[in-house]
Every structure is written in structure tokens, then in C-alpha cells.
Amino acid sequence: MLKGYFKGDPEFTYENFHRLPYEYVLSAYWHCARMGQIEAHKNERPIAMLAAQQANLNRDHKKRKTPFEMEDFYLYQPKEFKNAPAERYGAAALWLIENKLYPTWALFCFKELNKNRGKNIPTLVAFLHPSAVILAPTVNEAAVTGFLMAEHCVSNQILEMTSPCGQTVKVKIPAVRDEVAAEENISLPLC
């Protein structure tokens, strides 16, 4: 199985296998498992499409209003192929909900945050403003990085934002083209 993914590597042969460095063999095994998962994901797409069609034909429209999608039936899809926010952002959003600090205008992306939430709540949960939120921020001397949710009314403005623990920062919000927007791993300059 390993040799199938390393056809062009002359060192990776059965005769030479016992002489190869341990790290090389482990990285080769990891790469092989990774490529196998990607190949299985490519092969499962037609089946997932048929499963979604069949599920939508038999769906009770009163119980489930939204139709099933192909993504609901993927078994081998790698995490980085999913268009989902990181787990720490979901954990931070859930903490804000539980403490009644999550703004109602930001509910548009809570479903995705909640679906992919992690168990570990970040030390710095969020920076809050009435029209903007930065989830699970990391602060250095020049910028704040995190998951930004903002309303159009704060587009291109400098905001003073406060965390639930009392830490305050001033950041410049980028242009918000829609009524509300969300962006993961955005770096906002400190002012």
C-alpha cells in the first residue's frame, strides 16, 4: 500500500525498507494515510450525491425545512476541506451564549460556529463592541487576530473593544460590504 503512493522514490523499496530512517518511514506512512483519505473522499462524492437526493425525496418537509446536501453524507472528507470555522471560535461563541453576551445580530453564523465547537474555551474569549465581535483573539504588539463578526455601520472605523475579563483594545475594522460579515483568522491593526 505504501509503495503505491511512492512509485517514483527509488529508496522506498521492500529491500531497502529496513535501512530507511524512522522519521522518513513515519512521514511516508502519514502521507499515505492522508492520500488514502483524500482518494476515498473523491470516490464517495457520487454516492453522497445519490444519498442526498434520496434523503430529499423522502424528507418530511414539516420536520426538516432545509434540504439535505452532499456534505451531510461525506464520511471521509478531511477537516481542512470543510468550510467550517476553527473549534476555538465555536467554543468562544458558546461561552458568550451561555453568559448572555452574544449579540443577536451575530446569530447568522452561530449555527456553523456551534456545529464545529471545541471543548477548550480560549483564555481570552472575545473582544466585544455593540456592532462588532472578535472571537478567540490573540493579541501581539501590532495586531489582534481572531474571528471577526461586524455590522456594516462600523465599516472602516476605529473601535474600542472590551473583553469580558476587562481588557481593552482599539482596532481598525476593515470594510464591511454586506449588512453583516464574518471572517476567520483576520488580523486587525491596533490603534
Quote the distance between the C-alpha of residue 171 and its chain's center: 23
- Residue 134 is predicted with a pLDDT of 94
- Residue 84 is predicted with a pLDDT of 55
pLDDT below 50 — which residues of the chain?
A: none
The domain total for the chain is 2
- Burial category of 113 from C-beta neighbours within 10 Å (exposed 0-12, middle 13-18, buried 19 and up): buried
User: 66 and 107 in one domain?
Assistant: no
Mean pLDDT in the chain?
85
User: 122 and 173 in one domain?
Assistant: yes
Q: What is the CA radius of gyration of the chain?
A: 23
- The residue range of the domain holding 20 is 2-81
* Helix H or strand E encompassing 144: strand 143-151
Which residue among 81, 107, 122 closes a domain? 81
- Residue 121 is predicted with a pLDDT of 86
- Residue 6 is predicted with a pLDDT of 63
151: region left, alpha or beta (phi > 0 left; psi from -120 to 50 alpha): beta
- Residue 4 is predicted with a pLDDT of 65
Which residue among 81, 111, 133 closes a domain? 81
- Residue 2 is predicted with a pLDDT of 59
- Residue 129 is predicted with a pLDDT of 94
Prediction pTM value: 0.61
Q: Which residues lie across from 135 on neighbouring strands?
A: 126, 147
- Residue 9 is predicted with a pLDDT of 66
User: 91 and 75 in one domain?
Assistant: no
User: 91 and 185 in one domain?
Assistant: yes
Strands (E), 35-125: none
User: 99 and 72 in one domain?
Assistant: no
> Rounded CA gap, 159 and 99, in Å?
23
Query: Cell 476555538, residue?
Result: 88
